[in-house]
């Protein structure tokens, strides 16, 4: 496997801080065993097959659900924008960094997800870490699912509001917490629409019911919902027909929209407030012209080519069926994210390394991204994967899982 070198980590620590940091040697230990699974280099475009170290590898570790990252039209849109607008915006949206391209993308995103307005940020991470603290104050509450993405966790850490965590998808637990909140305080409920590691969905209808009953505000992270769920791929809120009842819809351009950047879509009043108060929007440079143009083109393709969603779901259903038939433990996933449970951190790294030797790229998921007993490898599909590629991956992964005694 690439990147197993330990020479840099063996340098002699200088000063107190470096001495303390030198105690962090977990990566070195996994590198010594040849099972370090991070920062693996891909030498080309991200499609169903990628080039690594001169070899073709089946890519099942990507979030490019729509497979538009290597689409010629998306690439050309990026090239054209680079030539027209240059390489960067040299400022934040607030000041000199707003291009007509950003505004067009915002209008089309808002229309796509079904909200009054959208604001485009430089990453999805900065949407969550900027929007959440901007919305709530000292006397308010944030109620969040225990498995939300790290960017939501960091957003709530930056907020001054009281923080209440409810058990994953447990609406009784959420209601119990809502009952504790002061009735006249703002209560912001935040969930992932599709949970990024396990692939299960948030119960949007029940969340909406509680939002209405307790006069709360509901924010749904659609990072893994856009381009995957809903009639036109607008996400799980659309899938449940409840877009109007969800106050804030967050999304990213780094997955189905084949680029980098993120958005928050909401009503006029909230958008106006966030535009002038979300610190990661105001104090960070805007999304580059090429990235913005690629996201816009990917969005337009997604909206016109419904075959993308059809293909994605067809191959997803096939993969779900095959993993179940072959005896893998895949949990209650309902999406193109298929967790293959290992339930042991070292074996999770070992099976990731063995899979790559067998020509299959998958991602290890260990704490804090999951509970200690829930370690898994994450297998994700793209619309352009074929049945043959899935079949080949299932066969090779089964061999690795059997070899390591993960399944029998």
Ligand X SMILES: Cc1ncc(COP(=O)(O)O)c(C=O)c1O
Which spans of this chain sit near ligand X (rule: CB under 6 A)? Answer: 123-125, 128, 149, 151, 192, 196, 221, 223-224, 252, 254, 262
Q: What is the total residue count of the chain? A: 408
β-strands 337-341, 49-52: how paired? unpaired
Least spacing, CB of residue 378 vs ligand X, in Å: 11
Separation CA 146–CA 143 (nearest Å): 10
Least spacing, CB of residue 408 vs ligand X, in Å: 32
Between 119 and 181, name the residue whose CB sits nearer to ligand X.
Answer: 119
β-strands 141-145, 162-166: how paired? parallel
Which residue in 308, 326, 310 sits closest to 391, CA to CA? 326
The count of other CB atoms within 10 Å of the CB of residue 1 is 16
Between 222 and 311, name the residue whose CB sits nearer to ligand X.
Answer: 222
Least spacing, CB of residue 36 vs ligand X, in Å: 21
Between 208 and 223, name the residue whose CB sits nearer to ligand X.
Answer: 223
Phi, psi of 290 (to 5 degrees): -65, -45
Between 255 and 322, name the residue whose CB sits nearer to ligand X.
Answer: 255
Instruction: Tell me the residue number closest to ligand X, measured at CB.
Output: 124
Least spacing, CB of residue 126 vs ligand X, in Å: 7
Separation CA 393–CA 387 (nearest Å): 10
Least spacing, CB of residue 200 vs ligand X, in Å: 13
Between 192 and 297, name the residue whose CB sits nearer to ligand X.
Answer: 192
- Is the peptide bond between 231 and the residue preceding it cis, with omega within 30 degrees of 0? no
- 251: helix, strand or coil: strand
Separation CA 370–CA 379 (nearest Å): 15
Which token pair is 53?
Answer: 């170290």
380: Cβ contacts below 8 Å, ≥ 6 apart: 60, 61, 62, 63, 65, 336, 337, 338, 363
Between 21 and 38, name the residue whose CB sits nearer to ligand X.
Answer: 38
Between 122 and 389, name the residue whose CB sits nearer to ligand X.
Answer: 122
Which token pair is 263?
Answer: 């958005």
């Amino acid at each position: 496997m690439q990147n197993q070198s330990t020479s840099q980590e063996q340098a002699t620590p200088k000063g107190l801080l470096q001495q303390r940091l030198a105690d962090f040697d977990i990566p070195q230990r996994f590198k010594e065993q040849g099972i370090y699974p991070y920062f693996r280099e891909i030498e080309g475009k991200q499609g169903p097959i990628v080039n690594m170290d001169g070899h073709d590898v089946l890519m099942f570790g990507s979030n490019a659900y729509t497979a538009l990252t290597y689409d010629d039209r998306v690439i050309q849109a990026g090239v054209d924008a680079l030539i027209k607008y240059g390489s960067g915006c040299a400022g934040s949206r607030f000041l000199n960094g707003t291009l007509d391209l950003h505004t067009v993308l915002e209008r089309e995103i808002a229309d796509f997800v079904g909200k009054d307005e959208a604001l485009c940020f430089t990453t999805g991470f900065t949407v969550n870490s900027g929007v959440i603290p901007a919305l709530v104050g000292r006397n308010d509450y944030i109620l969040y699912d225990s498995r939300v993405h790290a960017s939501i966790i960091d957003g709530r850490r930056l907020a001054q509001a009281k923080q209440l965590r409810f058990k994953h998808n447990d609406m009784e637990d959420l209601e119990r917490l809502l009952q504790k909140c002061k009735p006249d305080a703002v209560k912001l409920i935040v969930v992932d629409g599709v949970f990024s590691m396990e692939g299960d969905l948030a119960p949007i209808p029940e969340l909406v019911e509680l939002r209405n009953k307790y006069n709360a505000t509901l924010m749904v992270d659609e990072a893994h919902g856009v381009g995957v769920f809903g009639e036109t791929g607008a996400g799980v809120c659309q899938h449940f027909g409840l877009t109007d009842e969800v106050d804030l819809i967050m999304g990213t351009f780094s997955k189905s929209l084949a680029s980098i950047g993120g958005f928050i879509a909401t009503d006029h009043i909230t958008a106006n407030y966030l535009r002038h108060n979300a610190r990661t929007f105001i104090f960070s440079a805007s999304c580059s012209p090429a990235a913005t143009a690629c996201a816009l083109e990917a969005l337009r393709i997604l909206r016109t080519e419904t075959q993308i969603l059809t293909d994605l779901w067809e191959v997803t259903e096939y993969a779900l069926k095959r993993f179940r038939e072959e005896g893998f433990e895949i949990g209650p996933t309902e999406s193109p994210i298929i967790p293959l449970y290992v339930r042991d951190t070292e074996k999770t790294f070992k099976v990731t390394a063995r899979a790559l030797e067998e020509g299959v790229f998958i991602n290890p998921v260990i704490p804090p991204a999951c509970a200690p007993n829930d370690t898994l490898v994450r297998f994700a599909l793209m619309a352009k994967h074929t049945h043959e590629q899935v079949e080949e991956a299932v066969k090779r992964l089964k061999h690795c899982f059997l070899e390591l005694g993960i399944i029998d």
